[in-house]
Amino acid sequence: MKKTTMADLTLIISTMMLALIAGLFYSYSCSVNPGLNQLGDSEYIAAMQAINKAILNPLFFLSFMGTLLFFPVSLFFNFTAWDSPKFLLLLAAFILYACGTFGVTIFGNVPLNDTLAAFPLKNASIEEISLARKNFEIPWNNLHTIRTIASVISLLLVIISLTIQSKTTELITP
């Protein structure tokens, strides 16, 4: 049996955190968004305001921020050569996560969430509520689709990298 190395351990942790985020975004796309789509404007805004508040918790931040912070550590320990297929797949996965998932969330979804959080639902007219939903829902869902696809492809790249044996970890066959 192969001894677990720091390269293995950091890759396992990074992969788990990435899988949690990809799964969260994927499941949101498959269940939450279609459910929210069926709500009226006031109910939609109230639900999104509540969801956006609830997601700000330690478990979410551990996986969302942890992936961004821990993945470079994994890259460091898994570096063997600049042209190593495994390293290049992991590097591509990290760049895709950093830009397509983390970046899109921070610079796209979060500002929309902040705008919606500040919307005075209880004092707004029906027209204002309808406009607020229109200004939020389509852009937010488009950005969510981008970050979901980015996180799933990033995870796929990591999984593919796990099938590649580096020269230093090739299995010895009898």
Mean pLDDT by 10 residues, the chain (174 residues): 85 97 98 97 98 97 96 93 92 98 98 98 97 98 99 98 68 44
pTM: 0.89
**Token pair for residue 47?**
């639900």
Give the amino acid at 42: S
Q: What is the pLDDT of residue 157?
A: 98
Q: What is the pLDDT of residue 166?
A: 55
- Residue 91: how many CB atoms within 10 A of its CB? 19
Give the amino acid at 131: L
Neighbouring residues of 86: CB distance < 8 A, sequence distance ≥ 6: 78, 80, 161, 164, 166
